[in-house]
């Protein structure tokens, strides 16, 4: 197995050129499967993990998440980036304490977002959001861990589709120490290109769903990495719920014919 330092060095190397997909497993099994398929890095998903614990997104604890991150990081020989939500605190000092905990799980990167958890006032005030990013940077650098920090602006996801606001915040997060920038919800070539140019030469993460650009198109726009959020978890739940509803409502079992072969799963995990 590679050491955390080895994984962190490899993760930083991935961000130097080209464009790569960083898929989001929701448990240890899905993480190992994605490594088996040849992906070079993984990213946790807050929603996917929460659903696996029968909780809504943003309802897990920092203890839950750190345990989850440690398990995934130990199970695979590739870098893992943590969806560390809002740092599980509002105050910069507490964000720093929690980020220090996350670093010790063995992750190679983590993101801090500016969503307050309150839909009535979804974004932290600008200066507070910047101070929170600085606190995360300071915590990461305290032991020279080399963990890559992603600064994430939630405006588009929270109904504030103001590209000028997003770019202002992302450039401020970059100046505060974020190594990679991320604005989930941007989708048009114009939006993507504008963000890439604004924070260059720092890399940009793009969230892609069913209607998003391909790896090649995103790379041509200057995107460095693509994540898929909770999409893989939703796909897994889709198959589970479809088969379960058939049993509950019809008393039949035909959906099981669409299941992935058990023998192939045993071979992959052996």
Q: Find the CATH number of the domain harbouring 180.
A: 3.20.20.60
pLDDT at 91 over 90: yes
- Helical packing angle, 28-36 and 262-269, nearest 10°: 80
Q: Where are the beta strands (DSSP E) in the chain?
A: 20-21, 42-43, 80-83, 109-113, 148-152, 180-182, 204-207, 225-227
Query: Do 72 and 83 meet the contact criterion of CB atoms below 8 Å apart?
Result: no
* pLDDT at res. 200: 98
Task: Compute the Cα dihedral for 12, 43, 119, 65 and give only its sign.
Answer: negative
Q: Which residue has tokens 């109904």?
A: 159
Instruction: Print the domain residue range for 50.
Output: 11-229
Q: What integer pLDDT is reported at residue 227 of this predicted model? A: 98
Predicted pLDDT at 211: 87
Query: Which residues is 123 bridged to in the sheet?
Result: 115
Sheet arrangement for strand 204-207: 20-21, 225-227, 204-207, 180-182, 148-152, 109-113, 80-83, 42-43
Q: Is residue 6 part of a domain?
A: no
Residue 270 forms part of a structural domain: no
Query: 183 lies in a domain?
Result: yes
Residue 80, domain member (yes or no): yes
Task: Work out the average pLDDT over 93-115.
Answer: 98
Q: Is residue 247 part of a domain?
A: no
Confidence at 1, pLDDT banded by 50, 70, 90: confident
Does a structural domain hold residue 235? no
- Structural domain count, the chain: 1
In a domain, 171, yes or no: yes
Name beta bridge partners: 21: 226
Band (pLDDT 50/70/90 cuts) for residue 183 is very high
Contacts 24+ apart (CB under 8 A), 192-200: 192/218, 192/221, 192/222, 192/223, 193/221, 193/222, 194/163, 194/167, 195/163, 195/166, 195/167, 195/170, 196/221, 196/222, 196/223, 197/222, 198/167, 198/170, 198/171, 199/167, 199/170, 199/171, 199/174
Question: Each residue of 199-225: pLDDT tens digit?
Answer: 999 999 999 998 899 999 999 999 999
Whole-structure pTM value: 0.96
Name the pLDDT band for 198 (thresholds 50, 70, 90). Answer: very high
The 10s digit of each residue's pLDDT in 127-182 is: 999 999 999 999 999 999 999 999 999 999 999 999 999 999 999 999 999 999 99
Has residue 125 got a pLDDT over 90?
A: yes
What average pLDDT score do residues 106-124 get?
97
pLDDT tens for 233-244 read: 999 999 999 999
268 domain residue, yes or no:
no
The tokens describing 213, both together, are 């650009």
pLDDT of the residue at 169: 98
């Amino acid at each position: 197995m590679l050491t955390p330092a080895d994984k962190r060095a490899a993760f930083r190397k991935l961000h130097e050129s080209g464009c790569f997909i960083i898929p989001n497993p929701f448990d240890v099994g899905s993480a190992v499967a994605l490594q088996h398929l040849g992906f070079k890095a993984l990213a946790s998903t807050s929603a996917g993990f929460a659903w696996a614990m029968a909780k809504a997104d943003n309802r897990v604890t920092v203890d839950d998440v750190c345990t989850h991150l440690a398990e995934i990081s130990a199970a695979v020989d590739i870098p893992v980036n943590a969806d560390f939500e809002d740092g599980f605190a509002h105050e910069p000092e507490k964000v720093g304490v929690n980020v220090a905990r996350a670093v010790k799980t063995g992750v190679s990167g983590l993101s801090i977002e500016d969503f307050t958890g309150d839909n009535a006032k979804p974004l932290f005030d600008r200066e507070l959001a910047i101070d929170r990013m600085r606190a995360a940077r300071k915590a990461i650098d305290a032991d020279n861990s080399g963990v890559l920090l992603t600064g994430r602006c939630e405006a588009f996801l929270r109904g504030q589709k103001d590209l000028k606001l997003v770019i202002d915040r992302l450039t401020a997060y970059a100046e505060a120490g974020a190594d990679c920038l991320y604005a989930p919800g941007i989708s048009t070539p114009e939006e993507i290109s504008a963000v890439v140019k604004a924070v260059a030469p720092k890399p940009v993460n793009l969230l892609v769903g069913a209607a998003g650009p391909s790896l090649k198109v995103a790379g041509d726009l200057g995107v460095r990495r693509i994540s898929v959020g909770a999409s893989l978890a939703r796909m897994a739940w889709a198959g589970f719920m479809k088969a379960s509803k058939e049993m509950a409502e019809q008393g039949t079992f035909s959906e099981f014919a669409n299941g992935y072969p058990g023998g192939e799963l045993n071979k992959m995990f052996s």
